[in-house]
Amino acid sequence: MNPKITRFLAEQTPATPCLVVDVDQVEARYRALGKALPLARIYYAVKANPAMPILTRLVGLGSCFDAASWEEVSLCLEAGAHPEDISFGNTVKKVSAIQAAYRAGVRMFVFDCREELEKIAQHAPGSRVYCRLLVDNYDAEWPLSRKFGTTVESARDLMLEARALGLDPYGLSFHVGSQQLSAEAYEAAIARVASLFTDLSDAGLDLRMINLGGGFPIRYREDVPEIDHFAGAICRAMTEHFGNALPEMLVEPGRFIVGEAGVVHTEVVLVSARGRQDGPRWVYLDIGRFGGLAETEGESIRYAIRTARDGSPTGPVALAGPTCDGADILYEKSHYDLPLDLRSGEQIDLLGTGAYVSTYCSTRFNGFAPLSEYYI
């Protein structure tokens, strides 16, 4: 548990549920990634946590930004980012969003199909474009694979088409899936991108950039490989495939930058045996699937939990949120144990909740207020 957040909670006793994020820890993670991958430019994936104190801190550190919507582009601008440091990194963009971003000076856009490419050519003429490839999301705990990216063959045609449409065919991207535990996923994706670089070069088109996406994992209940492990694998693969002619490298971390810096402070609303002596106790919290913990879907992301009674005897529990919706269950199969004397009214902390929580809140489902947030 982060000592700065512990102190804040003890001194301020904020109402629950709330998210507390240590912005200094965000900075430390940004610096650690920069140190591990000095040749890569960091485009923070805004969707992981778009809070202004995070964006302004990152602007101050010289970060670039990966924005998924016009609203995220304008948040970055409001935080002081230069438009040329913003990549519009969603393959699915409204025409009005492309137009607004272009008017604001954004000149880098992603696509993964012909129609999107044509939209960009028409509404953001002359911009740098990169094509997203479909890659394996195997070993990712929060995969993104099937929804985005195209095949190597179609990417080849589309990059040539981009040039014909008067755009600047800048490079290629992929995303190996979020909370990716295997460095091999990056190596395999780099090999795929490199073969297309060569292919296109033979066709007279020299690309200049490879966008390695995000996916770098953080610690939840278990240790994960250090960032240096991923950086080493990436550097080896880049050197193997590109030799001395390294293209520009971009990374788009989200979870890695903000995840471990956040704690959700929550109250136990009810502990219930549900009439059974043999089953787990059910522990209902004042935050659930609809209050921001959307990544518990499928029990994919399993947060570590701290209680004031840690160290006392524990027993198995199922964890659920406070709403009247049957889908509002956090963990039933993931073998959570909590203290046997845990009672309603007590407060517990969910660690590693800085990413993909604050903006995954529904607005007032069942009347519950959206999560309050503190950036310290």
Ligand X SMILES: *Cc1c(COP(=O)(O)O)cnc(C)c1O
Q: What's the rounded Cα separation, in Å, for the pair 73 and 54?
A: 15
Nearest-approach distance from CB 177 to ligand X, in angstroms: 7
Region binding ligand X by CB under 6 A among candidate stretches 22-30, 33-41, 45-53, 297-305: 45-53
Which 78-97 residues touch ligand X, going by CB under 6 A?
89
Among 2, 49, 178, 353, binds ligand X (CB under 6 A): 178
For residues 213 and 280, which CB has a smaller minimum distance to ligand X in the complex? 213
Residue 230 engages ligand X in binding (rule: CB under 6 A): no
Residue 149 engages ligand X in binding (rule: CB under 6 A): no
Which residue has tokens 């998924």? Answer: 68
Region binding ligand X by CB under 6 A among candidate stretches 187-195, 199-207, 250-258, 368-376: 250-258
Tokens representing 239 are: 């050197």
Which 262-321 residues touch ligand X, going by CB under 6 A?
none
What is the residue type of 83?
A: P
Task: For residue 248, give the H/E element and its range.
Answer: strand 248-251
Among 27, 66, 141, 295, binds ligand X (CB under 6 A): 66
Nearest-approach distance from CB 316 to ligand X, in angstroms: 30
Nearest-approach distance from CB 259 to ligand X, in angstroms: 8
Q: Output the CA angle 62-67-69, nearest 5 degrees.
A: 150
Burial of 376 (0-12, 13-18, 19+ CB in 10 A): middle
Residue 48 engages ligand X in binding (rule: CB under 6 A): yes
Q: What is the distance of C-alpha 46 from the center of its chain?
A: 8
H runs (alpha helix) in the chain: 3-12, 23-36, 52-60, 70-78, 95-103, 114-123, 152-164, 184-202, 227-242, 255-258
Residue 41 engages ligand X in binding (rule: CB under 6 A): no
Closest Cα to residue 135, out of 75, 198, 57, 215? Answer: 215
For residues 169 and 253, which CB has a smaller minimum distance to ligand X in the complex? 253
Contact (CB, 8 A) for 269 and 291: no
Region binding ligand X by CB under 6 A among candidate stretches 42-50, 77-85, 159-167, 301-309: 42-50
Question: By Cβ distance, which residue is nearest to ligand X?
Answer: 214
Residue 212 engages ligand X in binding (rule: CB under 6 A): no
Nearest-approach distance from CB 107 to ligand X, in angstroms: 17
Q: What's the rounded Cα separation, in Å, for the pair 10 and 7?
A: 5
Q: Which residues are catalytic?
A: 324
Residues at the site binding ligand X, with contacts judged by CB under 6 A:
45, 47-48, 66, 89, 175, 178, 213-216, 252-256
